[in-house]
Each structure stands twice: as structure tokens, then as C-alpha cells.
Amino acid sequence: MPAEERETVAWPADGYVAVVKQDCPTCRLVEPVLAGLPGLTVFTQDDPAFPEGVADRRDDTDLDASLALGIETVPTLVRFAGGVEQGRVVGWSRAQWAELTGVAGLGEGLPEYRPGCGSRTQDPDVAEEILVRTRGGSLRARRLEIAALEDEAEALFDRGFTDGLPVVAPTPARVLRMLEGTSRKPDEAVAVVPPNLAEATVEKVAINAVLAGCRPEYLPVVLAAVEAACTDEFNAHGLLATTWGAGPAIVVNGPIRAEIGMNWAGNALGQGNRANSTIGRALQLVIRNVGGGRPQEVDRAALGHPGKVGFCFAEDEEGSPFEPLAQSRGVPPGRSAVTVFAAEGPRGLADQISRTPESLARSLAQGLRSVCHWKLPGGFDASLVLSPEHGRTFREAGWDRARLHWELDELLLLDRAEITRGAGGIEEGVPARASDRPVPKFRPGGYMIMYAGGGAGMFSAVIGGWAGGPGGSAPVTREVDPWR
Amino acid sequence: MHDFAALEGRGVIAAFLASTQFVVAAAAQAKALGYREVPSVFVPHPIQDRTDAEMRALADAALEEVLAAVTRR
Amino acid sequence: MAVSPGGATGSLVILDPTDESAPDARTALRRPASLDGLRVGLLDISKARGDVFLDRLAELLADRGITVRRYAKPTFTKPMPPDLRRDVTTECDVVIEALAD
């Protein structure tokens, strides 16, 4: 029940209030003391008939008074004067009870001191309900009822909230726990989400993070990713509406990778790690549910790819021969960030023979050249995920990221004779021109180089993108820490 | 009503015909399944002791409502 | 505890993950403008006399150029068995279920 619908609890403005439970041996021990204290109101958390001999004994099995008084231990004795708390004693202590009440010789025959027991408000079995009762009022999202005869998982499918895989029901308690992952308030705006240009609040993002299966500590990453994906530069609307099959992918840098247990080692781009799998999914569910971007509606992809369920991974910064991607994009060292970029599914690039950086770079350039079409330059962006066994070759040669970019740029100058329409017996290609100057495969800054993967395997991966730059989509980096 | 939910959940447009005896039960069942309302047509109770001619007359009378329950009109 | 989870007995309350532009209850599928070109099924729940009603309804629909496929549940007391449900959902766009009494 929302807090505003509950009756407020009250007790006399002057006198003593004790909170007890029959289940607690210390409470039972002080039963005769309570019976003898004048001006006392007792709230009982479990058995309304306990303690005996108290005139003003009140049922607090719904714990309202305990919560209002902030009780963590029973018994707790509180003194009020003029409605203001004057002091409290936790557990049984003859000296402290005597001092608080001014009654000498309390509890004759009782031990001097006994610690109390945990208040029922601390019990795990009521924690969820108390969370909703005390903080549910901060939630603004419409409450929906899944009826008694509906299967919970089926109901979430039927209402269209899922990407085709089961989701976790976003109950108020789960959403409140998710919101503990950020210091931001639930009603703060995160972004305006395309295609419907609906405002996503922190709460709406948290609801979708619950659906996706995120843990609360992933929420700042999801919030940063939503912020990044909803920028003009990233152009999520265009990426959604194109018939090309790419979707948003997220690469994570900085300390938060380890804090939330992301995977950047073996199978870095694959399944099996909760953070990797659910963060990318949460972003896609925000676009689906808040933005209204659904397949065969605004999402016009002819083919799409399985990573559109969610595509998120972390860079291996510790093993990388290069500085972290986020630092190369302007984020100060030691800070966490997400970079959101347009992504097809990854495709492996094998080279198990090259021992020189020059030879390996040529192999990688051949793979990058095939993005979109081997004969088409200038339009599409891409990403290269360098694996440890390929990274080693560049480390040993002393190549940094800038050097590798520079070498690849040279290798990706395309010979006009090879890419003109009709060349190679392929009608696709660029129109014939008078100039025979070579044409760069990518626009300036049109491909990123990242580092991740397991220690064995001379295989890197190319991730094709979509039309780059203005009119298309450019990668966007945002810091995570402001969303913590 | 379970059939209604099963069919609509699989993308098949469904409507439910019952006697007026069922108005309250159908509403309760629809609510329990999460629907505020279900396209339904109710024909006058009773049914089981009607003659064939009476049954056909009930169908004649229900036709327009049946069409309305499964189309946008 | 003396507190219910929030809704009616046995129901589960969730928070809306969408922009809240759609109705908050489960709604019937969007209806077509007409039945032209759609595959229409009549599902007999197998209560006594329902067949006479459905025979006449089929005739009336046929008069309007709508041919129907006929199906019958083995018993009105239970939901459709899976094989019947599969047949109906693969063979029909629209299903009229009758006649509960």
C-alpha cells in the first residue's frame, strides 16, 4: 500500500514509548518492568497480547510505529516530552533505564544488562515490503496489474515489453532496489529517447534495467549508455530506421568494468556474463519501450543481427598495448566511461602466420576493407577488436594506437581502378571519375580500435557499423561517474 | 475466456459468444486475465431448451454484433 | 504482515516500462476494417444446441461472402487442447467462439 494511503501512527506527546516483540528473550525479561512503568505506551511487533500488564498496549504487527520511530533493536525505550524525543535506550540496562525514566530500582532481580534483539523491521522477509512502503512514494511510473490468472512471464510478453526473450517483472521493490545503484533521483531526466522522443527518467531506465536482468550496480553504466545513445551525434533514430542491420553497441572503460564484474577476456563479445549481456539489453529495451522503436515498425532493418538483443563488452585495459579507448576519446585516466557505437555482429579475422606488425596490419586492413562492400569507400564506419595474440605483435614492435591507425589509413587507400562500377565484373562500385587519386575506405575517425579477448587465438574481429558522421551515426563517449 | 486470451496472445483476433447468464462471469474472468473488456456478444438466456427455429433466430439477431466484435465498426 | 502487495488478491503490481501512451490494461488486438480476405474460424465449445446456432451463423456469413472453417472443442469444460489451438492459430486470422451457456 502506498505510504500516503496509510494512517499515520501516533503516541502520547509526553511519556514513554517502548517497542518490543514477544519472540525476543530480552523483551520477555523486561515484561514485569514494562508493567510497572507509569505513562508507558508499548508497541508490539509480533504478538498483540504481549507484554502482559501494560495498560496502553498497541498492535504494531504492520510495523508502522516501528518504522516511524526508526527502531532497529527491541526492546527500545524512548522518552517524549511535548512530542519531542528526549532520549532512548536500546536493549535492557538497569542503569540506563533508570536514568531515562528517573525511576530507581527498576527490574529488581534482573541482570544488570542484556542486549536486545533485531527489530522485525530488519527481517529479510519483510524488507521488500518495507522498502516499497517507505520509498514507493518516490516512484512515478504507472502501476500495472498482472491479474491473478495470468502467468507473470507470459503477461510481460503479451504486453509487448520484451525483445522476444523472457524479462524480469519490474515490481516496485525490484525497481527501488535498482535505484539504489545511483544517487540520482527517480524523476531526473536522463534523455529524450527516439523515435517517439519520449523523456526517459532515471526511474524509467531503472524499470527497463530490471526487465533486462541488470543488478543495481550496473545502473550507472546503463544510464550513461542511454545518455550517449540519445545524442544527435549518435542518431539512434536514424540507426533504428535504416534498413541496414546495425544496432547500438556499448564498450565500457575504467574501474567500473571490474567493480561490476564485466568480461573482457575469453568470449569477450559473446554470451555468459551477466553485466555484458544485460547492460546492452537494457539500452535496447529503453529504446523499445520508452522510445517506441520496435522491429518491423520504426526499426526497418532488412536483416538485423542477434546482437540487437543487446551488445555490450569491456575493453581489456590492463593487457592492452594501447591506452584505453575512452582516454583516446578524451576521458581522463582512471575514470569510467561508455562509448556507444553503431554495430553489426562481429566477424573474425584470422592471421596465424604474420610475425611483423606490417604484415599483420595488412591482414587487418583487408578485413576492414570488406565492411559494407569491398568496393565501397567513405560511407560506413567500423570497429576493430584486437585480440591479445595480435596485440602482442604491435606491443613488441612498439606501435601505439595512433601508429596502427596511421598504418591502416595508408593501407585503406583504395585504388580507383579496383572500385569503379563494373571493375572485377561487379556492377556495384563508385562512378568513374577523371581523377585516379586513391580513395580512403573510411572517413577521418571512421573506425575505432579496441582491445579484448582470451589469451589464445590469433583472431581479431571486425565490427561493421553504419553510415558515419553527420546524417549517419558517430560513436559517442560519456562518463559513467556522473550517474553513480 | 482462456481460449480468448490464448488466441489473441498468438495474434488471432477472437470474440466470445455466450448467453446473458454469462455476463458477470465473463467480466470477472476477463478481469482475472488482465483485460478490462473482451469483445463479447451475449444472446438471451436460456439456450438449451430452445427449438431449432428459435436458435436460428438468435443467430440472425446476433450477426451484426458478431461482425462488430471482430471488425473496426 | 498485514499488508497486501498492492493490488487485488493474488495479482502482481509492476511498473510500466513504456512512455505510458498505451492503455494500462491488456487490450484486445486491433480489429480489421472488414473480414474481406481474412480466414475466419467458428469454434464450437460443444455445449448442447450451440451447433444449431453456429450452423446458422455460418450460413449468414456465407451470404456475405465470408466462408468459415469450423472447429469444435472436445469439451466446453476446459481450454482448447494444444493440437486444436495450433490448428486454429495457423489456419485462422479471426475466430468466433460460441456458445457458452
Burial A316-328 (b: 16+ CB within 10 A, else e): bbebbbbebbbbb
Structural domain contains residue C80:
yes
Structural domain contains residue C18:
no
Which ipTM value was assigned to this complex? 0.91
Domain covering A3-136 in this structure, CATH number: 3.40.30.10
Rounded Cα distance between B59 and A16, Å, is 75
Structural domain contains residue C87:
yes
Q: Average the pLDDT over A218-238 and give the result.
A: 97
Asked if A149 lies within 8 A of B32 by C-beta distance, the reply is: yes
pLDDT score for B73: 67
Closest chain B C-alpha to C2 CA, distance in angstroms: 23
pLDDT score for B45: 87
Asked if A148 lies within 8 A of C8 by C-beta distance, the reply is: yes
pLDDT score for A150: 86
- In percent, the amount of chain C with pLDDT more than 90 equals 58
Report yes or no: C10 at the A interface, CB cutoff 8 Å.
yes
pLDDT at C2 over 50: no
Interface of A with B in 148-167 (CB under 8 A): 148-150, 154-155, 157-158
pLDDT score for B29: 84
Residues of C in contact with B36 (CB under 8 A): 23, 25-27
Residues of C in contact with B71 (CB under 8 A): 31-35
pLDDT score for A20: 97
Of A2, A144, A155, the CB nearest to C16: A144
pLDDT at C6 over 50: no
Question: Mean pLDDT for chain A?
Answer: 95
- In percent, the amount of chain A with pLDDT more than 90 equals 88
pTM of the predicted model as reported, rounded to 2 decimal places: 0.82
Question: Mean pLDDT for chain C?
Answer: 86
Q: Average the pLDDT over B40-51 and give the result.
A: 88
Q: What is the pLDDT of residues C58-84, one digit of tens each?
A: 999 999 999 899 999 988 888 889 899
Give the pLDDT band of residue C3 (cuts 50, 70, 90): very low
At A330, list the grid cell: 578524451
pLDDT at A8 over 90: no
Q: Average the pLDDT over C5-12 and give the result.
A: 61
Rounded Cα distance between A408 and A467, Å, is 20
Structural domain contains residue C9:
no
Which value, in Å, is the radius of gyration of the alpha carbons in chain B? Answer: 13
pLDDT score for A4: 44
**Domain residue spans in chain B?**
2-70
- In percent, the amount of chain C with pLDDT more than 70 equals 91
Q: Average the pLDDT over A320-349 and give the result.
A: 97
pLDDT score for B47: 83
What is the count of structural domains for chain C?
Answer: 1
Q: Average the pLDDT over A267-283 and give the result.
A: 98
Q: What is the pLDDT of residues A44-71, one digit of tens each?
A: 999 999 999 999 999 999 999 999 999 9
Q: Average the pLDDT over B36-55 and give the result.
A: 88
Which chains pack against A, by 3+ Cβ pairs within 8 A?
A: B, C
Q: Average the pLDDT over A147-155 and give the result.
A: 88
Q: Report the SS3 class of residue C30.
A: coil
pLDDT at C4 over 60: no
pLDDT at A6 over 90: no
Instruction: Look at A215 and A109; give whichever has higher pLDDT.
Output: A215
Q: Average the pLDDT over C13-42 and give the result.
A: 91
Q: Average the pLDDT over A172-184 and give the result.
A: 97
Q: What is the pLDDT of residues A373-426, one digit of tens each?
A: 999 998 899 999 999 999 999 999 999 999 999 999 999 999 999 999 999 999
Q: What is the pLDDT of residues B4-29, one digit of tens each?
A: 988 998 999 999 999 898 888 888 88
Closest chain A C-alpha to C3 CA, distance in angstroms: 7
pLDDT score for A2: 42
- Residue B21 is classified by DSSP as G
pLDDT at C7 over 70: no
Q: What is the pLDDT of residues A80-131, one digit of tens each?
A: 999 999 999 999 999 999 999 998 888 889 999 999 999 999 998 888 888 8
pLDDT score for A7: 58
**Domain residue spans in chain A?**
3-136, 153-483
- Selected for mutation to probe chain B from A157, A158, A161, A162 (highest B CB count within 10 Å) is A158
Range of the domain at C75: 40-98
Asked if B9 lies within 8 A of A158 by C-beta distance, the reply is: yes
Choose the weakest-confidence range: A230-244, A257-271, A278-292, B21-35.
B21-35
pLDDT score for A466: 97
pLDDT score for A3: 42
